[in-house]
Amino acid sequence: MPNVKSPKTKKKKSRANVTAETMAAGQRDISVSEFFAKNRHLLGFDNPRKAMLTAIKEAVDNALDAAEEAGILPEIYVEVMQQSETRFKLTIRDNGPGIVKAQIENIFGKLLYGSKFHRLKMSRGQQGIGISAAGMYGLMTTGKPVMIISKTGKKKPAHEVVLKMDTSKNRPTIISDEEHPEDDKLFKDGHGTQVVIELEGKYQKGRQSIDEYLEQTAIANPHATITYVTPSNETIEFPRAINELPEEPKEIKPHPKGIELGTLIQMLERTDAKQLSGFLTGDFCRVGSTKAREIAKGAGLTGQTWVKTIGHDDAERLYDSIQNTRIIAPNTDCLVPIGSKALLAGLLKEVQAEFFAASTRPPSVYRGNPFQIEVAIGYGGGLGRDDSAKVLRFANRVPLLYSQSSCCSFKAVAETSWKNYGLTQPRNSIPTGPLVVMVHMISVWVPFTSESKEAIADYDEIRKEMKLALQECGRKLGTYLRRRKRMAREGERRSVFERYIGEISRSCNAITGTDTDKLYKALMKQAKRKTEEADALLDDEGNPVDDGGRLSKDEDVIIVDDLQDIPEMQDSLFEDGKKKKKSTKKKKKKTTRKRAKK
Amino acid sequence: MAKKKTTKKKTTRKTNRVVDKKRDEKTKKKIEALAESVATKALKQKEPNFEIPTRSISNMKYNKKKRILEMGSNTQTRSLFNLGQARKFMQSLLLAKGCRDLIDAEKTLSLRGMYYMSLHTIPGTKEKTFNDQGESDGILEDLEVSLDGLREELHVFAKKRGTMVGNISIVDNGDEIDCRRMGTGGYAIPSICEPNVIQFKDCDADFILHVEKDTVWSRFNEDRFWEKHNCILTEGSGQPPRGVRRMLHRMHKELKLPVYCLLDCDPWGHYIYSVIKQGSINLAFESERMAIPDAQFLGIRANDYERCELSDDVKIDLNDRDITRAKQIAAYPWFEGKRDWQREIKTMLGNGFKMEVESLITKDISYVTEEYVPSRLKEGDFLD
């Protein structure tokens, strides 16, 4: 970490009697853990409230990853126990495959230790910093070690390990390590892991709270069951909505266009391949022997060139050649989106809206990394009508709660022109109205703006895909809103006509003697037809509006309420008296909803 | 309820009324045709509608030859299945039915009576068929034009307004009335002055003097002006109602009496003259029966302030609305080509003030009757 070193040197330089030798005495290795212990804000432990959330988040992410990888439907238990005003004890338990005893100390006691960093595979965790950093934070603020209990199988004993991290060495210090007797109560499935961390924290509900995080996690992981025990000892259940595990994502090799020169040189040094052709086809995806020859030729080399003879200049030419060669985009079967159906299921159980739409984009590529965007929206119902829309951001199924405005997803929502879909939107801002927008980015490598994984970096390719997905959902919403508005209007029209038809038939009857009933029925029939005809009219843009049937047949759309329940939108011809009536009706509805929720 | 009450009142008033059976049959046929077309269209599942000639300045033509305003051929469709027209459509049919009932009963009703007759709450709602009389008055005018039948043919009349006195006797609904012996009040000109109601008996008058309002008319009547100058004296309470205009028209046409108007020197007065002479925009379909293209404007003139040496006190400043209105009137096609009128309006605008007929009273109580009008008549100083 050169930037840590340099201030020291500077200081000493100002003094006259300092020599290179005395300076050398103060120069030494800095362990990663030491660095992050001092710069814990980089990992998301800037303040007590956020620190506690980050700790839970890291543990839950790991738990979900582990269970999914082992093909187990995840069941997560989260407990936050308040011990004093600022001290909390967190317990996170999963039903995952467990961790073998030898690895426990490394995973929980070492920063940057893990399976996820070196591979290109879609997973929640990426760096292997998270959970050990949480333990480190707990140790620093309370002095208490981390306790891990893990069981890997029914017949195998559970291990209880208590450990501390030695930050100066980035190594764990084991305090105790023994077989845990009462395992069956903890792990019903016979396997799983439990972590207990004590730390300094602050519990507060509302935005960016643990509650919010778990709620959103439940939306993005409808296949998981989450049980949450709050500090006030309330138990909140987020039940499973889908009994199917998402497909196991495939691991992929890097794409040639996705690496930088330094990485290329490193890969050349480390490869097992002897010849360039073998290196290119074996260590990258999407490179066959023809492509390999083409790349080599472009760099003035051949496929038979020995890898060991490739020097720095050659590597640079090779890098340029890669950039100039057309290579097909990476396979995208490494991406497993939540899927529109599951997304809607997740949103439906956590958001009180009346209209839901989802859209999953085909996979795309940024910087050689495949990625995919999913968007879902919820509109109306019990959502706040006057607030700004709520944007729920996810990356690889993990909710992102902080740094909203610097996130690519948020920008994409603000850049989408929602006015076209019948919503109000202040300039350069997200729309207002009863709207929840969920944006999910899936990738083998999500480009976060920092290690604390709070916001997605703003790549044009990513933002473009997000906007396309948002627009697709927006169009569906627009169709729905227009249709709803029109139906309200037509209903009103019909009632206007109906009101007068009686009078007209009676008058006609009085003048001409035509049968009143017959006339009335004929006119009513016509009124009905007229208003139905108008239902099939063209929309504002002149396109035929698809009828209700098509929208509700759309698999990516869920419409919850009957139309009668939504009077708010219609441009009313009614007199004040009627309007009032309707609004009271609405209020009533809201209260019943609340009750139902409880 | 309302219907019974009003009709009863009318029956006591009208005893030996003359009924034009032939005309009534014709009107009835028109109403029935309207309703029939609605019913037929409805039963055939076609959109029920009817055409109404447009009553606005855009559909107005000035007939230079006849020197009257005429209605153009533009019509608008009123249909039931149009949100903006549904209510009016219903009201039209209600009033059509009301008129037919009146014709059947051989009775007439005032505009207000007509409003009450068709007023009720629509079953199953809190909505009334009419919100106020204005709404029904407008629909009645629509009915008149679309049925091509006049208000009086529909057995509806307006509130009485306007007075008459002079060297003439007439028969009103069978009663002989001598307009020379009307005391201070004068003969109230009825709303319907059709030949079947009013006939002229004997007339010695040489001309008709029409004044703007009641106060001036009283001055002339008290001074027995009509006796001295052998004329008929009428008054229309501002903008003359249809009855007064019809009466003037008939006397002018049938008795060959010239008409002179004594009106205020302001845009309002000028427009009254315009309506008497060419007809009104709203009732252009009746111009043929109402307009008097030969009517002359006697005063007050803009130069009277100097000519009659009036005091400063009579000046009333022109406001912005007056000025725009005056310019509008000057631009009407029937004023456009008249240089005298253009000069008159220009002088008034140049003066920056308007004058009422009453302003002449500042000279002397009877100045207007003894000096002003006689000298104008003698000199033949009129605006055409």
CB atoms within 10 A of CB A404: 18
Kindly tell me the sign of the dihedral angle through the C-alpha atoms of B4, B8, B10, B16: positive
pTM: 0.58
CB burial of B160-199 (b: ≥16 within 10 Å; e: otherwise) equals: ebbbbbbbbbbeebeeebebeebeeebbebbbbbbeebbe
- In this complex, is the C-beta atom of A16 within 8 Å of any C-beta atom belonging to chain B? no
B325 inside 8 A of chain A by CB: no
Does B153 share its domain with B173? Answer: no
- The answer to whether A484 and A535 have CB atoms below 8 angstroms apart is no
Q: Answer whether A499 touches B (CB < 8 Å).
A: yes
Return mean pLDDT, chain B.
87
- Give the DSSP letter of residue A167: T
Helices marked H in chain B = 2-13, 21-43, 86-105, 111-117, 133-147, 214-222, 225-229, 242-254, 267-278, 287-290, 304-307, 320-331, 333-336, 339-351, 367, 373-379
B316-335: burial string, b at 16+ Cβ within 10 Å, e else: eebeeebeebbeebbebebb
Q: Do B43 and A514 touch (CB under 8 A)?
A: yes
The token pair at A498 is: 């109906």
Q: Residue A534 has what pLDDT?
A: 54
Residue B5 has pLDDT above 50, yes or no: no
Neighbours of B20 (CB within 10 A): 15
The pLDDT of residue B374:
92
Residue A544's pLDDT is 44
The CATH number of whichever domain residue B339 belongs to comes to 3.40.1360.10
* Beta-carbon contacts below 8 Å between A and B: 82
Report which of residues A84 and A383 the model is more confident about. Answer: A84
Q: Please tell me the class of the A340-478 domain.
A: alpha beta
Residue B300: asked if its preceding bond is cis (omega within 30°), the reply is: yes
Cβ of B38 within 8 Å of Cβ of A522? The answer is no
CATH code assigned to A38-238: 3.30.565.10
**Boundary (domain end) residue, out of B157, B187, B207:** B157
Residue B259 lies in a domain: yes
Q: Are residues B39 and B120 in the same domain?
A: yes
Handedness of CA A12, A17, A19, A21 (dihedral sign): negative
Enumerate the residues of chain A whose CB falls inside 8 A of the CB of residue B97.
Answer: 507, 510-511
- Same domain, yes or no, for B148 and B226? no
Q: Are residues B181 and B262 in the same domain?
A: yes
Question: Does B244 share its domain with B124?
Answer: no
**How far is it, in rounded angstroms, from Cα A293 to Cα A313?**
18
User: Could you read off the pLDDT of A60-117 as tens digits, one per residue?
Assistant: 988 998 898 888 999 999 999 999 999 999 999 999 898 888 888 888 877 767 666 6
Whether residue B46 lies inside any domain: the answer is yes
CA–CA separation, A88 and A56 (whole Å): 12
Token couple for A462 = 């990513």
φ, ψ for residue B46, nearest 5 deg:
-105, 155
Whether A12 shows a pLDDT value over 60: the answer reads: no
CATH number, residue B104: 1.10.10.10
Would you say residue A6 has pLDDT above 90? no
With CB atoms and an 8 Å threshold, state whether B86 touches A503: no
| B149 and B175 assigned to the same domain | no
Same-domain status, B275 and B169: yes
Last residue of a domain, one of B131, B157, B183: B157
B321 with B189, same domain: the answer is: yes
Interface of A with B in 330-349 (CB under 8 A): none
**Rounded CA separation B54/B66 (Å):** 21
Which residues on chain B are in Cβ contact (under 8 Å) with A503? 90, 93-94, 122, 129
- Among A163, A138, A160, CA closest to A150: A160
CA distance A548 to A540: 17
Q: Is residue A310 a contact partner of residue A276, using CB atoms and an 8 Å limit?
A: yes
Active-site residue, B273 included: no
Q: Is residue B384 part of a domain?
A: no
Mean pLDDT of the region B228-243: 92
Query: Backbone dihedral region of A128: left (phi > 0), alpha (psi from -120 to 50 degrees) or beta?
Result: left
- Is B114 within the bounds of a domain? yes
pLDDT band at A336 (very low <50, low <70, confident <90, very high): confident
Percent of chain A at pLDDT > 90 equals: 21
Domain that holds residue B306: 163-379
Residues from chain B that touch A499, judged by Cβ atoms under 8 A, are: 122, 124-125, 127
From B116, B137, B157, the end of a domain falls on B157
Nearest-neighbour CA in chain A from B127: distance (Å) = 9
**Residue B106 domain flag:** yes
Q: How far is B49 from chain A (nearest CA, A)?
A: 12
| Pair B114, B142 in one domain | yes
Q: Are residues B205 and B334 in the same domain?
A: yes
Order of strands, edge to edge, in the sheet holding A158-166? A171-180, A158-166, A146-151, A192-200, A87-94, A75-82, A225-229, A235-238
Alpha carbon distance A55, A53 (integer Å): 5
Contact A493, A398 (CB under 8 A): no
Residues 119-178 of B with CB under 8 A from A: 122-127, 129
Identify whether the C-beta of residue B71 lies closer than 8 Å to the C-beta of residue B60. yes
Closest Cβ opposite residue A497 in set B31, B45, B80: B80
If one counts the domains in chain B, the total is: 2
* Judgement on whether residues B118 and B183 belong to the same structural domain of the protein: no
Neighbouring-strand partners of residue A448: A456
The answer, for B339 touching chain A at a CB cutoff of 8 Å, is no
Catalytic choice (B116, B187, B273, B305): B116
Beta strands in A361-494 (DSSP E): 364-366, 369-379, 390-395, 398-400, 435-443
Q: Does domain A256-324 have CATH number 1.10.8.50?
A: yes
Interface ipTM: 0.75
Look at B96 and A504 and tell me if their CB atoms are within 8 Å: no
Whether residue B317 is contained in a domain is answered as yes
Q: Is there a single domain that holds both residue B126 and residue B210?
A: no
Asked whether residue B116 is assigned to any structural domain, the reply reads yes
Q: How far is B374 from chain A (nearest CA, A)?
A: 56
How do residues A412-436 score in pLDDT, each as one tens digit? Answer: 999 999 998 888 898 888 999 899 9
Give the separation between CA A174 and CA B125, rounded to whole angstroms.
Answer: 83
Distance from CA of A575 to the nearest CA of B (A): 10
A117 and chain B in contact, CB less than 8 A: no
Cβ contact, residue pair B38, A573, below 8 Å: no
B298: helix, coil or strand?
strand
